[in-house]
């Protein structure tokens, strides 16, 4: 909404600042941070009053049993901070902004239902897995069909870029593209959910990934930068940089209360929303394969679970005794079992997240 203050630039040149995406992006991240800082304590008190506490699995690390009862569903703080900041600083008539906001609320809503059922039942199982996937895939399929019918860029929606290649792309058959979009969104929302097992781990990694996508969104929306770097020029994509930084700001603000020892957990409300939106941003930027690099730690966590389950089932079937590759999956628990303190695992995984972001930035020149 503040974008329209530029109309008063004839009154004062200060209002002309609201024309620039860089200024509004900076305002968005600061606003989201402040909203999270000021609303956080009130939300935590409210969750405690309602006894919305985390239910911890008995099969998890013993050190996590003390976390039972810690307020959860704190992801609503990230969603609120991001949404308020985006509504203030981004252009609301921009399709990139609109789609990202809808994705944030939709995926957050699914996570909220899952968390709510866990709290009510006092069990680690919330929404039935197939219903959760149904909600994720229904949004992904709807978005895929929408983009095919009504592309929001000058290029066909089923075109996507390849990292490190400026003159090559992948062209999907339209029905395959629709399924691909749904799989990206569902898969990455669940990847962030699997990573959300240590205080601040998924929150910090999501902030790094969102900030990285903000840079790619701004570059793709600029005709000069995108032309020079060999990227798809996506008019209007720069507005998504504002949303992405608002998301990063909300996550960092939430991290103030989520850092070890956490005063509140994001729950599925936050993890599904963060993962789903990161997937959506990669789709809108035609950078789905770049998501594997930017979200490399999330991919690693997911693969560790798949490998653990696959090997265990295979060896149980062939030898009669299931064997494990990791001491516990996802892989962050493996390092806990090796004796790493929780904070050490989190910080080192954040460093890996920054490294993944640097590799992603390198693809801008190594093409």
Both tokens of 242, joined, read 């504002």
φ, ψ (nearest 5 deg) of residue 253: -60, -40
Structural domains counted in the chain = 1
304 domain residue, yes or no: no
What confidence score (pLDDT) does residue 15 get?
77
pLDDT at 129: 79
Cα–Cα distance measured from residue 187 to residue 120, given in angstroms and rounded to the nearest whole number: 27
Look at residue 350 and tell me if it is in a domain: no
Structural domain of 105: 17-288
| Residue 1 included in any domain | no
78: helix, strand or coil: helix
Give domain status of residue 223, yes or no: yes
59-67 — which CB contacts under 8 Å span 24+ positions?
A: 60/197, 60/328, 60/333, 61/328, 61/333, 61/336, 61/337, 63/336, 63/342, 67/262, 67/265
Is 366 within the bounds of a domain? no
Dist CA 79 CA 102 (whole Å)? 11
In whole angstroms, give the CA distance from residue 48 to residue 195. Answer: 24
Mean pLDDT (10-residue bins), the chain, 367 residues: 73 81 96 96 91 67 67 93 96 96 96 85 70 93 96 93 86 96 96 94 98 97 92 95 98 96 93 97 96 97 96 90 91 94 96 98 88
| 3-state SS class at 170 | strand
Full-model pTM: 0.94
Is there a contact between 53 and 71 (Cβ–Cβ < 8 Å)? yes
pLDDT recorded at residue 40: 94
Question: Which one, of 162, 158, 160, lies nearest residue 367 by Cα?
Answer: 162
> So what's the pLDDT on residue 123?
63
Q: How far apart are CA 46 and CA 71, in angstroms?
A: 9
* 147 within domain boundaries: yes
Which residues does 204 contact at the CB level (< 8 Å), separation at least 6?
Answer: 251, 255, 346, 350, 353
Assess if residue 195 is contained within a domain.
yes
Mapped onto helix, strand or coil, the DSSP state of residue 72 is coil
Query: So what's the pLDDT on residue 128?
Result: 72
Task: Name the β-bridge partners of 170.
Answer: 160
Helical H segments across 151-295, by residue range: 174-195, 201-221, 223-229, 238-258, 267-284, 288-294
Q: Which two tokens stand for residue 194?
A: 């699997």
Strands 165-171 and 159-162: antiparallel
Q: Determine the pLDDT at residue 59.
A: 55
Q: Is residue 324 part of a domain?
A: no
136 Cβ contact list (under 8 Å, min separation 6) = 107, 110, 182, 185, 186, 189, 190, 272, 276
């Amino acid at each position: 909404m503040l974008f329209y203050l530029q109309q008063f630039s004839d009154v004062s040149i200060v209002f002309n600042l609201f024309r620039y995406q860089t200024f509004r992006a900076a305002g968005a991240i600061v606003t989201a941070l402040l909203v999270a800082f000021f609303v956080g304590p009130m939300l935590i008190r409210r969750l405690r009053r309602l006894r919305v506490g985390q239910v911890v699995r008995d099969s998890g690390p013993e050190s996590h049993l003390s976390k039972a009862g810690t307020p959860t569903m704190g992801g609503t703080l990230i969603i609120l901070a991001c949404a308020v900041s985006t509504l203030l600083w981004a252009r609301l008539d921009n399709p990139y902004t609109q789609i990202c906001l809808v994705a944030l609320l939709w995926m957050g809503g699914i996570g909220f239902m899952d968390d709510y059922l866990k709290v009510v039942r006092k069990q680690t199982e919330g929404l039935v897995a197939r219903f959760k996937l149904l909600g994720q895939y229904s949004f992904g399929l709807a978005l895929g069909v929408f983009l095919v019918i009504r592309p929001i860029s000058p290029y066909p929606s089923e075109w996507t870029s390849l990292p490190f290649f400026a003159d090559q792309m992948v062209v999907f058959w339209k029905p395959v593209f629709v399924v691909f979009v749904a799989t990206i969104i569902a898969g990455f929302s669940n990847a962030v959910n699997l990573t959300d097992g240590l205080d601040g781990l998924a929150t910090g990694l999501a902030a790094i990934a969102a900030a990285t996508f903000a840079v790619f969104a701004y570059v793709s929306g600029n005709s000069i930068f995108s032309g020079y770097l060999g990227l798809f020029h996506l008019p209007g994509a720069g507005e998504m940089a504002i949303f992405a930084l608002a998301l990063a700001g909300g996550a960092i603000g939430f991290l103030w209360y989520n850092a070890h020892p956490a005063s509140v957990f994001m729950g599925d409300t936050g993890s599904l929303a963060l993962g789903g939106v990161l997937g959506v941003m990669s789709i809108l930027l035609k950078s789905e394969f770049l998501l594997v690099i930017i979200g490399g730690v999330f991919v690693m966590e997911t693969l560790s679970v798949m490998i653990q389950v696959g090997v265990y089932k295979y060896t149980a079937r062939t030898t009669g005794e299931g064997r494990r590759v990791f001491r516990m999956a996802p892989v962050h628990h493996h390092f806990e079992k090796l004796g790493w303190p929780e904070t050490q695992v989190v910080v080192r995984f954040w460093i890996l997240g920054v490294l993944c972001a640097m590799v992603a930035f390198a693809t801008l020149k190594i093409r």
